[in-house]
Amino acid sequence: MACGDSHGNISIYNVRDVENNLPILSSKDIPNKHTDIIWEIQWVQRENKAEALISISGDGRIIEWSMKKGLEYSDLKQLKRETNPN
């Protein structure tokens, strides 16, 4: 199970391990992670790749998370904020 919090952290839990309530992976100490609340997080199956986690945050970044060598990320897109003319 993957969760996002209001500080921009991603945590991944093994829900089969009922004895341990700590995340198996976390972005808490990863530099340049999301800097704002996580709006949405979703597991996706990538073509010719392992399953990945995609997150979007209030900082406007869409990030793909990989779990091959711990928790690593790559930016997919940076959304730009536009002001409302009204």
Q: Is 85 contained in some domain? A: no
What amino acid occupies position 82?
Answer: E
Q: Is 7 contained in some domain? A: yes
For residue 14, the enclosing domain spans: 2-78
DSSP code of residue 58: T
Domain count of the chain? 1
**pLDDT value of residue 57:** 95
DSSP code of residue 81: P
pLDDT tens for residues 16-28?
988 888 999 999 9
**pLDDT value of residue 51:** 82
Q: Give dist(CA 39, CA 60) in Å, integer.
A: 10
pLDDT tens for residues 55-79?
999 999 999 998 888 888 999 999 8
Return all residues near 42 (Cβ < 8 A) that are at least 6 apart.
53, 54, 55
DSSP code of residue 24: S
pTM: 0.81
Q: Give dist(CA 42, CA 56) in Å, integer.
A: 9
Q: Is 67 contained in some domain? A: yes
Q: Is the pLDDT of residue 12 over 80?
A: yes
